[in-house]
Amino acid sequence: MNTSNFVLRGSVCYSAGAESLLVMDDGFLVCEDGVSKGCFPRPPAEYKNFPLVDYSGKLVVPGLTDLHMHAPQYSFRALAMDMELLEWLNTHTFPEEAKYEDLEYAEKAYSILVKDLKEGPNTRALLFATIHVPAAMLLAGMMEESGLVSFVGKVNMDRNSPACLCEKSAGASLAATREWLKLSLGKSWKNTAPILTPRFIPSCSDELMKGLSVIQKEFGLPLHSHLSENRKECAWVRELCPETSGYGNAYERYDLAGGSVPTVMAHCVWSDDGEIKMLAERGVYAAHCPQSNTNLSSGIAPARRFLDAGMRVGLGSDVAGGAHVSIFRAMTDAIQVSKLRQALVSPDEKALTFEEAFYLGTAGGGSFFAAAGAAVHKGGQKGPGPAGSFESGFDFDALVIDDSGLASPSPLSVRDRLERAVYLSDNRNIIAKYVRGNLIHSLPREQTRTKPPQKAPGR
């Protein structure tokens, strides 16, 4: 049982849906057993015994979810950003990922990543590891220790990959996957769980996909992969799978695209209307990764069409296709590329508003953990629930942001302060970070500034 019970006071902002932002200038959030009980204009009497954590005047927002990231690529982020996807994979990504066979290297690299994740604004992530079981286990253990919530996937790839990063056969890949699941599911992790991670159709044979479908059903695992990212890649999939009706169908035919399988597909930049309809109907989440799509010349994902079609959508950094891990940055990138799409590609697709981008990076992606968490944290302890909102029932993931350094000659509304804090995002302004009600990070200077728990006015 989580014993995180408190009331947190501050200038609270969270989404009440894709288009609306709720703002309470002086709000009182209630956290009971790590779960939000809602936001109130004054402390509710029934929680009068809960200690008050007073962040009056500071912005308090839900934690952010990175729906798509490659943990081993963090080591070379912001390098080779002048290449296209397939060239970049072959010259930089695959050689780097091959290094994770060496656990010492993996530990050095993953330590840097996990420290940075802990100090940034994201509280949850879906992480690709590599094909290597020991390194995937190491990463998952480090994530668990960090207090962040994550799904970590040992990657499957048995074709069209360099020898240094290609599993010997479908059978070898499936056997390694079973070994990894046995190890992962044997741990008593609270915040970390495995997720099936076939890299993408070009690197997974039919036999491998068939076998993964069997494993998925046996263990009830969620799935994380790539879909319709880049035009050359889509043409390649058409060559590899001439019998399918499209890229999405190459997953769907193995029952590995939504439906009863909680699924995240990164990108969907080139998904046509039929594929978008299929994804929406099967409840697949699109991880919209605008910075990566720009860096790797992939295109501009039709985020407006996703939303209009009722698709589930969140944001991803896609590090190291994206150089920045912060989902605040992904929010601003999503707005910017949507404006370019409206101006240059499709005038009918209205650009995203700030409210929509904020929703995508919080509750949009955070809702994935409701269905997927329940799928793997069976029986024993309570797994993570949905995050990204302070509505009652959401896990209490929260960031406290001190934006007092962003001076303004005239007073700004809380909503405008939030927009500016997102656009000018600086991790040094995150003075406290809670995940499932636990304080996992706070700035040292905050120790002198935080008022000790005290009685709220009027109690």
Residue ranges that bind Zn ion, judged by CB under 5 A: 266, 318
Q: Which residue is nearest to Zn ion (CB)?
A: 318
7 SS3 class = strand
> If residue 110 lies in a helix (H) or strand (E), which one and from where to where?
helix 103-119
For 7, residues 6+ apart whose C-beta sits below 8 A from its C-beta are 28, 29, 30, 31, 43, 47, 50, 51, 52, 53, 456
Q: Which is nearer to Zn ion, 32 or 318 (CB)?
A: 318
Identity of the residue, 62 or 361, whose beta carbon is nearer to Zn ion in the bound complex: 361
- Are the CB atoms for 253 and 244 separated by under 8 Å? yes
For Zn ion, the closer of residues 203 and 213 by Cβ is: 203
- Rounded to the nearest whole angstrom, what is the least distance from the CB of residue 162 to Zn ion in the complex? 17
Judge residue 273's burial from the number of C-beta atoms within 10 Å of its C-beta, 0-12 exposed, 13-18 middle, 19 or more buried: exposed
CA–CA separation, 395 and 184 (whole Å)? 23
Instruction: Supply the minimum distance, in Å, between the C-beta of residue 127 and Zn ion.
Output: 11
Please state the closest distance from residue 319 (CB atom) to Zn ion, in A: 9
Q: Which residues contact 334 (CB under 8 A, 6 or more apart)?
A: 288, 290, 303, 315, 352, 357, 360, 361
Q: How far apart are the first and last CA of the chain?
A: 28
DSSP, residue by residue, 296-318: TT-----HHHHHHTT-EEEE---
Output the smallest distance, CB 66 to Zn ion, in A.
11
Least spacing, CB of residue 321 vs Zn ion, in Å: 6
- Token pair, residue 241, equals 């799978």
Instruction: For Zn ion, give the closer residue by CB, 195 or 266.
Output: 266
> What minimum distance in Å lies between the beta carbon of 68 and Zn ion?
6
User: Based on CB atoms, which residue is closest to Zn ion, 31 or 157?
Assistant: 157
Residue 322 or 383 with smaller CB distance to Zn ion? 322
- Cα 15 to Cα 207: distance, rounded to the nearest angstrom: 43
